[in-house]
Chain A
Amino acid sequence: MTIQECYALTGSNYSDVLRRLMREPLVKKFAMKFLNEESFALLRDSLSQGDVPTAFRAAHTLKGVCQNLSFTNLAQSASACTEALRQENLAQAKALFADVERDYVSLIDALRQVE
């Protein structure tokens, strides 16, 4: 699929990111870099270890990157998780992480299919 279709499929905002990066190849270049972004794995691991400060930083980073690339869905679920962690509410953060994981997995799947 094209990068634009990938955005449409994953609840991401293509017109927004295009407005900023201005050219499709650039959007694709940066979006594909997201495959190597490690904050999701760090968030998952630190949540399971109950390490709230690390989890908070990871969630915050994930949110920032997603906002930057207009991955709107994932940015939103990561944002909710960030806020729970800001309140140091681990239980709620873990519950909200389910959404983050769902959005992340669907995004990564779609990105891998971009040609």
Chain B
Amino acid sequence: MHSNEKMQILIVDDVQINREIFVELLQDQYAPLQAENGFQAVELIGKHSDTIALILLDIMMPGLDGYGVLEQLQAMNLSGVIPVIIISAAEDPEAVEKAYELGATDFISRSTDPTILNKRIFNYIQLFGRQKTSFNEVATQNHRLKTLDELTDCNNLAAFRQQAEQILLNNPQKTYALWYSNIKQFKLINNRFGYDVGDYVIKYWAKCIQLDQQEGETFGRMTGDRFVCLTRCESPESLENRFWNQIAAVQTCLKKQDLDFDIDINSGVYLIQPGDLDKLSVNLMLDRASLAQQSVGQKNGSHLGIYDDKMLDSQLRRSEISKHLDKALQTGEVMAYFQPQFDFSLRAVSGAEALCRWKHSTLGWLSPAEFIPVLEQSNQIYQLDCFIWREACRALAQLRSKGILTPISVNVSRADIQEGSLVQVLEGYIQEFGLSCADLHLEVTESAYMEDSQQLKQMVHTLQSMGFCVEMDDFGSGYSSLNTLKDLPVNILKLDAYFIRDSISDLRGSAILSTVVGMAQRLKLPIIAEGIETMEQAQNLLDMGCQWMQGYYFARPMPMKDFLELMDVTPNSGAHHDLSGAVLDPLTRARQAIQEFSALLKQIVSSNTCGIFAYSLPDRRTIQVNREAYRLMGWEEWEKNLEINPYSRLPERMVPEDRAAIALASQQMKSPGDQFSIPYRLQKDGSVYLKVNLTSKYLEMPSGKHIILSILSDITNKDS
């Protein structure tokens, strides 16, 4: 392309280096114009309004700034005619917002990758129709847009299907493999490193697939991080090889680009046998490859699944479950079961968790582990949860009618939190059954908290402010950082079953568990331990200070009728998980006692409300003496900061007869429990100036040490 055919791009920036970098990045494809301030920019726009295809605009410039240029564009009726991309730091959202209001098209950061920069510029020029192309070029362009994936330049899905079909039709005797692949946790890559990096990963992967392709094969990008691929297939082993080679190639490619993280890929393959095309469309084959891809699940690492007909069966089963839910809820196939929770210290029922059970009319009992993921996928979990919540409220109403105040907890999934009607629905059930919000405890899983969703935290706050008690479910199962506990909006912790099972038997686990329990107590968070299966586990937890428990050892989940009957005959602990009367773990108990006692002593010793001195026997060493004792003994050594032994020197200022009486009484203190209480007087220059009462007691300490404790009180003003 000759330079006079290149489109013009106006770069407006007051800093020379910045302009030159853009020129460098763009000059291969465009003809850059430069303006170093707003005025120059407006002048150039006026001259070249027909030929400038796009403007790159800095905001902060001396003289006329970027906003000013945008306003001038409006005045020139060019706003929305020439695309304007603002160059801005991402940390300045206000500037970006203001620029949008003034008609800017988009913004980019200075650190934007050149390929992305070029792509965006290309797209906007297309979008605004600023290019000058012949009819032929337009036709080619349109064809490209219809068949090519914009990001990777490979086939889009429609084009892939067409090509795949053609290949299969032309080669009816050969065996092929149809691949359906995606990058695991791709959203996380976008979230952690930004969309630019995400786009990179997609492009590199497309490139790796392309390099791996052989004659007579094709591939395409469906959407997002999903690719489809048609390859020859000699044997299943050869598929495995290709799969791992491709992953290795992507990893190497990323490493080379300093993108130092691993990606995992899940692929599913449908093996196309000769003649299959007569029975199945490429679309249906893709469905099967996708089923095979889903079948590998969410295990760590990369996985390849190869379709077999069982997968179709399980897909049919899943769709049966999903389709049947409405009816199952109406006919009573789906039921709320209640698993009682116990206060092991009181041997009383303290609550219950409402769980879901499903006895399918043709498939029999379905495990929640099977139907919950299915309903999650089909967005029906809210419907199911609403049903259970209402059943729990019904059970609560029955309990309340009998005067039983025990709460019931229900599960609230992440999907439920996103439902706009959650609050109204819960409120509705509470009103319908004449309950208060505090009756219903809501369990939110720990992993939901860890996703750091503002929405979730806000919703939990709302629910709490309405009076609901929120429990963190599965605590200890996943990512819990003890540190985050203090900020989380939660009223009760539910300790995960696996945590307990592993921990009771081994020493370290047990130490961690008891620390968690103790810490939760200091945070004033009650803990309910789930999954208790043996007496030993229950007793251990109680010793650690966790008194609320749930598990098969106590009771299995049971139908509502059985639960209500059980509540009739079993003592219950009432409405609250009250920590004030709770059993504390021994360490906390001891620590609290010591802290309280020493605080008390400190208060007495330092307040000088009385004189105290204590010395040990038989060595007569002073172990505690305060300032008031010095004063009441008539010594001034305290001021002189001298250490003396009060016992070794009875006060010189003591009236002699008092001194004799004290000396005599002291000699008679021979064994623990002996004591005396004698008043004495101090004199100075022949006159009595202080009257003191001395009480001494012989004590034996728990350590076996013997101590004389003396308490002196000023009674000068009391007798006279």
How far, in Å, is B562 (CB) from chain A's closest CB? 64
Assess whether B496 is interfacial by the CB under 8 Å rule: no
The residues of B that contact A87 with a CB separation of less than 8 Å are: none
From B108-116, B235-243, B430-438, give the one contacting chain A.
Answer: B108-116
Give the docked Cα–Cα distance between A68 and B114 (Å): 12
Give the docked Cα–Cα distance between A37 and B18 (Å): 11
Nearest A-chain residue to B13, judged by Cβ: A64
The residues of A that contact B257 with a CB separation of less than 8 Å are: 19
Assess whether B17 is interfacial by the CB under 8 Å rule: yes
Total number of A residues with any Cβ neighbor in B under 8 Å: 23
Contact between B111 and A16, CB atoms less than 8 A apart: yes
Assess whether A96 is interfacial by the CB under 8 Å rule: no
How far, in Å, is B29 (CB) from chain A's closest CB? 14
The residues of B that contact A73 with a CB separation of less than 8 Å are: none
How far, in Å, is B91 (CB) from chain A's closest CB? 7
Nearest B-chain residue to A17, judged by Cβ: B111
Contact between B20 and A33, CB atoms less than 8 A apart: yes
Contact between A33 and B16, CB atoms less than 8 A apart: yes
Assess whether B587 is interfacial by the CB under 8 Å rule: no
Q: A19-B113, A19-B258, A39-B15 are in contact. Are A64 and B21 (CB under 8 A)?
A: no
How far, in Å, is B637 (CB) from chain A's closest CB? 51
Best-surrounded residue of A19, A21, A33, A34 (most CB of chain B within 10 A): A19
The residues of B that contact A63 with a CB separation of less than 8 Å are: 89
How far, in Å, is A13 (CB) from chain B's closest CB? 9
Q: A15-B258, A61-B60 are in contact. Are A21 and B17 (CB under 8 A)?
A: no
Give the docked Cα–Cα distance between A61 and B17 (Å): 11
The residues of A that contact B89 with a CB separation of less than 8 Å are: 63-64, 67
Assess whether B24 is interfacial by the CB under 8 Å rule: yes
Give the docked Cα–Cα distance between A83 and B369 (Å): 52
Give the docked Cα–Cα distance between A50 and B14 (Å): 23
Contact between A37 and B111, CB atoms less than 8 A apart: no
Assess whether B62 is interfacial by the CB under 8 Å rule: yes
Give the docked Cα–Cα distance between A15 and B255 (Å): 12
User: Interface code A4-29, partner B: CB below 8 Å = 1, 0 otherwise?
Assistant: 00000000000110011110001000
User: Interface code B7-34, partner A: CB below 8 Å = 1, 0 otherwise?
Assistant: 0000000111110110011000000000
Give the docked Cα–Cα distance between A70 and B91 (Å): 16
Contact between B17 and A34, CB atoms less than 8 A apart: yes
Contact between A33 and B60, CB atoms less than 8 A apart: no
Contact between A30 and B111, CB atoms less than 8 A apart: no
State which residues 448-507 of B face A: CB under 8 Å.
none
Nearest B-chain residue to A79, judged by Cβ: B91
The residues of B that contact A33 with a CB separation of less than 8 Å are: 16-17, 20
The residues of A that contact B91 with a CB separation of less than 8 Å are: 79
The residues of B that contact A64 with a CB separation of less than 8 Å are: 15, 18, 58, 89, 110
User: Interface code A44-70, partner B: CB below 8 Å = 1, 0 otherwise?
Assistant: 000000000000010011011101111
Our pick among B16, B18, B109, B114 for the contact of A22 (Cβ within 8 Å) is B114
Contact between B24 and A21, CB atoms less than 8 A apart: yes
State which residues 73-104 of A face B: CB under 8 Å.
79
The residues of A that contact B62 with a CB separation of less than 8 Å are: 57
Q: A20-B113, A57-B60, A67-B89 are in contact. Are A30 and B21 (CB under 8 A)?
A: yes
Give the docked Cα–Cα distance between A15 and B15 (Å): 23
The residues of A that contact B15 with a CB separation of less than 8 Å are: 37, 39, 61, 64-65
The residues of A that contact B114 with a CB separation of less than 8 Å are: 20-22
State which residues 110-125 of B face A: CB under 8 Å.
110-114
Best-surrounded residue of A15, A26, A65 (most CB of chain B within 10 A): A65
Nearest A-chain residue to B58, judged by Cβ: A64
Interface size class of B (residues with CB under 8 A): 20 to 34
The residues of B that contact A15 with a CB separation of less than 8 Å are: 258
How far, in Å, is B620 (CB) from chain A's closest CB? 61
Our pick among B14, B20, B25, B113 for the contact of A61 (Cβ within 8 Å) is B14
Best-surrounded residue of B14, B17, B109, B257 (most CB of chain A within 10 A): B17
Give the docked Cα–Cα distance between A101 and B60 (Å): 23
Give the docked Cα–Cα distance between A65 and B16 (Å): 9
Give the docked Cα–Cα distance between A61 and B62 (Å): 11
The residues of B that contact A34 with a CB separation of less than 8 Å are: 17
Contact between B20 and A67, CB atoms less than 8 A apart: no
The residues of A that contact B24 with a CB separation of less than 8 Å are: 21, 26, 30
The residues of A that contact B14 with a CB separation of less than 8 Å are: 61
Contact between A20 and B111, CB atoms less than 8 A apart: yes
The residues of B that contact A70 with a CB separation of less than 8 Å are: 111
Give the docked Cα–Cα distance between A65 and B112 (Å): 14
Give the docked Cα–Cα distance between A39 and B60 (Å): 13
Q: A57-B62, A79-B91 are in contact. Are A68 and B17 (CB under 8 A)?
A: yes
The residues of A that contact B21 with a CB separation of less than 8 Å are: 21, 30, 68
Give the docked Cα–Cα distance between A68 and B15 (Å): 11
Give the docked Cα–Cα distance between A37 and B20 (Å): 13
Give the docked Cα–Cα distance between A22 and B25 (Å): 9
Our pick among B60, B110, B113 for the contact of A68 (Cβ within 8 Å) is B110
The residues of B that contact A20 with a CB separation of less than 8 Å are: 25, 111-114
The residues of B that contact A22 with a CB separation of less than 8 Å are: 114
Give the docked Cα–Cα distance between A65 and B13 (Å): 11
Contact between A65 and B17, CB atoms less than 8 A apart: yes
Give the docked Cα–Cα distance between A19 and B15 (Å): 22
Give the docked Cα–Cα distance between A65 and B18 (Å): 6
10 tightest CB-CB pairs across the interface, nearest first? A15-B258, A68-B110, A67-B110, A33-B17, A60-B60, A65-B17, A68-B18, A61-B15, A65-B15, A20-B114
Known A63-B89, A64-B89; further 16 A-B contacts with Cβ < 8 A? A15-B258, A20-B113, A21-B24, A30-B17, A33-B20, A37-B15, A37-B17, A60-B60, A61-B15, A65-B15, A65-B17, A67-B89, A67-B109, A68-B21, A68-B110, A69-B17
Chosen A-B contacts, 29 in total, with CB atoms closer than 8 Å, are A19-B113, A20-B25, A20-B112, A20-B113, A20-B114, A21-B24, A21-B114, A22-B114, A33-B17, A33-B20, A34-B17, A37-B17, A57-B60, A57-B62, A60-B60, A61-B60, A63-B89, A64-B18, A64-B89, A64-B110, A65-B15, A65-B17, A67-B89, A67-B109, A67-B110, A68-B21, A68-B110, A70-B111, A79-B91
